DNA sequence: CGAAACAATGAAACCGTTTTCATTGGCGGT
DNA sequence: ACCGCCAATGAAAACGGTTTCATTGTTTCG
């Protein structure tokens, strides 16, 4: 920068301004500086800038599994919004290791990032610890899954209402006996979807045959579906707490000789990309994942800039996507052949 | 740091050493410093460290689509390896905008990252430009897709051999007429797979009915499959250059009333997670995506540290995964060619 | 016409580390 | 007792920007 200043015949300070607040400079001066720095291939050193400014224009995203299509599309939304606001993205895959979040969150204290976006519902550091307390004073936002601690802004959908919608849909289709494959215990999404589904079932006098617990994996969907098949009073419809488990369940049902949806309806949750090309195409709840990501970034940005948040909780609209995997209940099929509105051909 | 030094009764320098090279300190001194910094909740400011050390322990990954399951698993491998080597990951989604790579790559010049890992085959900056020249002197590695410029280390599989394997497989299954749905022109993967497949077809005297060009999307697989169906001499097997296009093709074939694999075999490439769940399960070429990511990070690390690279090109083993979507060719006797229905014409 | 506000620039302090070089005392070898 | 060596520590100079405050002319306005 000193060299640029010299070549342009101005002070160091002026060159700095040329890059951080060009409007304050006389046009002629600015031009000279630009030409000088072009000649010298000059680029501002962002470490020095961050050091002095005490902010890095970077945001850290913590998620349990980058390779999971649900998260990766949220991530894409975050990335877009980050880029548009001149920020850069750091990602950490915390996986199953609970301590990884802590070490990643150290980046916040180390001033490498300005904010933390949490997709795994696990707020780093031990509750009550000083580190946790400091974290709560920093820009943090939870997406999709809530964190236990109060005061952390949240971006997501109304999972209770969405699950209730599913129950109502199944009732509309004539089902009387239904079951639920839930996510892992302790997960906020699991709880909300269970609550919503049982509430909706109750409202429509559906007999909720039982809830089984999976772990959001295809395999667990298959395994829990096998359990459901063994019940004496088999349900005619199953609501899985995410699409992967729904795929697994459908697989198990098919393997057991049942047709989906003729003999068994299955509804998923999330509407990941593969759901529409699955055979049968999956009826599911669409989450606006990209918008969730963008919104999360916006909330983080507001916190960084000190702008007052519009609300500490942003609930986006979900959408029930009717496809082939959920149909009329077997008994009701003959009675009335009411066709639900199917989506137009996928892709 | 000054406060910690004061509290521990040592010089600033010594505290610095406690965090960057603790072995050089007397155990007792180290203990005092650790206790002091714990009391003060001290954390090293990584911006200052990077500024002084002129390295950031961060790596930038550029990819065309984070939400694409192929890339996201490679990314996961990179993340793991980065974390294990004490590095942190920046990701940029360059999408279809060719200039985004340039602005992201600025992070390298700005000293925010130490290396660049390219998944999109597009080396930033105009060829021949000074910026490009400087980039080539920095740690850069290409994964999966090659970059045009020589001298950039590459990590991937032998796409030619893999595509040839597919041709041989189809020949072994008794197919005589085959077709290929390729990726977008100009893509190195597209070219290599085309070359390998036609070579393999030639070796086994397969009649390569034609090559159509898709863009790696499900939709393009469906559309190009419709084109293939319109050919007078319809092939009995199709090799798609990735799994998504294979899914789209299968969908189109099914919609036209063909059974897969009885009437038409389909082979994909990549083995993404849903390929085995798909109905029919997809026969495909598995790429060791996670290992590719880890290896790429290792190559980048070697460049950063100045360690001589074992090789400028690392080729990992691929694997032909035999599933249901590719089967025996319909025997000539039974080959009463099914009439295809164009009820749901894509146009 | 004079005071005050303003626009454009510069000098210098500061951000928080790392690293070179110097200093000190202890130690083994002769 | 001397010399050199080494381990442990400290003083001070970077690293490359930003920002406060001061210093100029130049307007503007009463």
Q: Supply the pLDDT for residue B97.
A: 86
Both A92 and A236 in a single domain? no
Within window 227-256 on B, which residues have Cβ closer than 7 Å to strand D? none
- Distances, alpha carbon A305 to alpha carbons A48, A85, A309, in Å: 20, 12, 10
Write out the residue range of the structural domain in which residue A141 sits.
53-152+291-316
Residue B226 reports pLDDT greater than 80: yes
Question: Which nucleotides in chain C lie less than 7 Å from some protein C-beta?
Answer: 7-12, 14-20
Whose tokens are 């500086």? That residue is A33
Q: Supply the pLDDT for residue B309.
A: 82
Cα dihedral across residues B50, B54, B56, B57: positive or negative: negative
The tens digit of pLDDT for each residue in A163-219 reads: 999 999 999 999 999 999 999 998 999 999 999 999 999 999 999 988 999 999 999
Residue A323 reports pLDDT greater than 50: yes
Look at residues B124, B171, B189, B160 and name the one whose alpha carbon lies nearest to residue B265. Answer: B171
Task: Kindly determine whether the C-beta of residue B11 is less than 7 Å away from any atom of nucleic acid strand D.
Answer: yes
Position A44 in a domain: no
The Cα B289–Cα B57 span in angstroms is 23
Which of A91-100, A176-185, B12-21 is predicted with the least confidence, judged by mean pLDDT?
A: A91-100
Task: Kindly determine whether the C-beta of residue A17 is less than 7 Å away from any atom of nucleic acid strand D.
Answer: yes
The Cα B278–Cα B220 span in angstroms is 18
Both A184 and A217 in a single domain? yes
Position A27 in a domain: no
Inter-chain contact B65–A88, Cβ cutoff 8 Å? no
Both A218 and A331 in a single domain? yes
**B interface mutation test: which of A88, A225, A273 has the most B CBs within 10 A?**
A88
Q: What are phi and psi for residue A337, nearest 5 degrees? A: -95, 40
The Cα A29–Cα B203 span in angstroms is 68
Position B327 in a domain: no
The Cα B270–Cα B320 span in angstroms is 10
For residue B97, what is the domain's CATH number?
3.40.50.2300
Both A220 and A252 in a single domain? yes
Position A137 in a domain: yes
Residues of chain A contacting B66 with CB distance shorter than 8 Å: 72, 75-76, 79
The Cα A285–Cα A269 span in angstroms is 5
Q: Supply the pLDDT for residue A309.
A: 82
The Cα A73–Cα B68 span in angstroms is 8
Centre a 10 Å sphere on the Cβ of residue B54 and count the other Cβ atoms it contains: 10
Both B276 and B301 in a single domain? no
Both B169 and B247 in a single domain? yes
Both B177 and B269 in a single domain? yes
Flag whether residue B205 sits within 8 Å of chain A, measured between CB atoms.
no
Both B85 and B174 in a single domain? no
> What DSSP string runs through A237-268?
EEEESSHHHHHHHHHHHHHTT--TTTT-EEE-
Beta-carbon contacts of residue A276 (< 8 Å; ≥ 6 apart): A282, A323, A343, A346, A347
What is the mean pLDDT of the segment spanning B40-47?
Answer: 96
Alpha-carbon distance A112 to nearest alpha carbon in chain B (angstroms): 6
For residue B13, what is the domain's CATH number?
1.10.260
Both A136 and A241 in a single domain? no
- Distances, alpha carbon A263 to alpha carbons A165, A201, A256, A276, B168, in Å: 21, 20, 11, 20, 41
The answer to whether B46 and B73 have CB atoms below 8 angstroms apart is no
Q: Supply the pLDDT for residue B336.
A: 46
Residue B130 reports pLDDT greater than 60: yes
Flag whether residue A51 sits within 8 Å of chain B, measured between CB atoms.
yes
CA dihedral A225, A247, A260, A233 (to 10 degrees): 20
Q: Which residues touch strand C (CB under 7 A)?
A: A 9-14, 17, 24-26, 28-29, 48, 51-52, 54; B 1-2, 12-13, 16-17, 19-20, 42-45, 48-49, 51-53
What is the mean pLDDT of the segment spanning B331-339?
Answer: 51
Position A18 in a domain: no
Name the domain count of chain A: 2
The Cα A108–Cα A15 span in angstroms is 30
Query: Which H/E stretch holds residue B195?
Result: helix B188-203
The domain boundary, picked from B259, B283, B307, lies at B283
Both tokens assigned to B106: 């600025």
Both A133 and A169 in a single domain? no
DSSP-based three-state secondary structure for B63: strand
The Cα A123–Cα A136 span in angstroms is 9
Both B84 and B178 in a single domain? no
Position A176 in a domain: yes
Gyration radius from chain B CA atoms: 26
Burial of A333 (0-12, 13-18, 19+ CB in 10 A): middle
Both A279 and A296 in a single domain? no
DSSP-based three-state secondary structure for A178: strand
Position B147 in a domain: yes
Query: Which H/E stretch holds residue A82?
Result: helix A69-84
The tens digit of pLDDT for each residue in B277-299 reads: 899 999 999 999 999 999 999 99
The tens digit of pLDDT for each residue in A126-159 reads: 999 999 999 999 999 999 999 999 899 999 999 9
Alpha-carbon distance A173 to nearest alpha carbon in chain B (angstroms): 26
The domain boundary, picked from B283, B304, B332, lies at B283
Position A344 in a domain: no
């Amino acid at each position: 920068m000193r060299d640029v200043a010299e070549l342009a015949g101005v002070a160091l300070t002026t060159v700095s301004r040329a890059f951080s607040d060009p409007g304050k400079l006389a046009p002629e001066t600015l031009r000279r500086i630009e030409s000088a720095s072009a000649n010298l291939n000059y680029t501002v050193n962002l470490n020095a800038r961050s050091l002095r400014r005490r902010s890095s224009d970077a945001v850290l995203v913590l998620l349990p599994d980058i390779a999971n299509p649900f998260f990766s599309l949220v991530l894409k939304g975050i990335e877009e919004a980050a880029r548009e606001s001149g920020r850069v993205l750091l990602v950490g895959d915390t996986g199953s290791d609970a301590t990884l979040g802590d070490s990643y969150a150290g980046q916040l204290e180390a001033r490498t990032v300005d904010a933390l976006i949490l997709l795994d519902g696990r707020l780093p550091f031990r509750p009550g610890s000083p580190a946790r307390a400091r974290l709560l004073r920093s820009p943090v936002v939870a997406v999709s899954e809530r964190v236990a601690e109060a005061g952390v802004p949240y971006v997501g959908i109304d999972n209770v209402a969405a699950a209730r919608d599913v129950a109502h849909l199944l009732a509309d289709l004539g089902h009387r006996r239904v079951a639920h494959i839930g996510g892992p215990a302790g997960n906020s999404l699991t709880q909300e979807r269970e609550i919503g589904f049982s509430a909706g079932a109750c409202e429509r006098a559906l007999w909720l045959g039982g809830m089984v617990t999976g772990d959001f994996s295809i395999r667990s969907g298959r395994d829990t579906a096998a359990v459901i098949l063994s019940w004496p009073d088999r349900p005619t419809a199953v609501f899985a707490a995410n699409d992967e488990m729904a795929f697994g369940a459908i697989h198990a049902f098919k393997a057991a000789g049942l047709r989906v949806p003729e003999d068994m309806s299955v509804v998923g949750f999330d509407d990941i990309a593969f759901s529409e090309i699955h055979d049968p195409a999956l009826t599911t709840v669409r989450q606006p994942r990209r918008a969730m990501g963008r919104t999360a970034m916006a909330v983080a940005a507001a916190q960084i800039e000190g702008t007052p948040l519009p609300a500490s909780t942003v609930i986006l609209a979900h959408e029930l996507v009717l496809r082939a995997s959920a149909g009329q209940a077997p008994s009701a099929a003959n009675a009335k052949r009411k066709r639900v509105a199917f989506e137009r051909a996928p892709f």
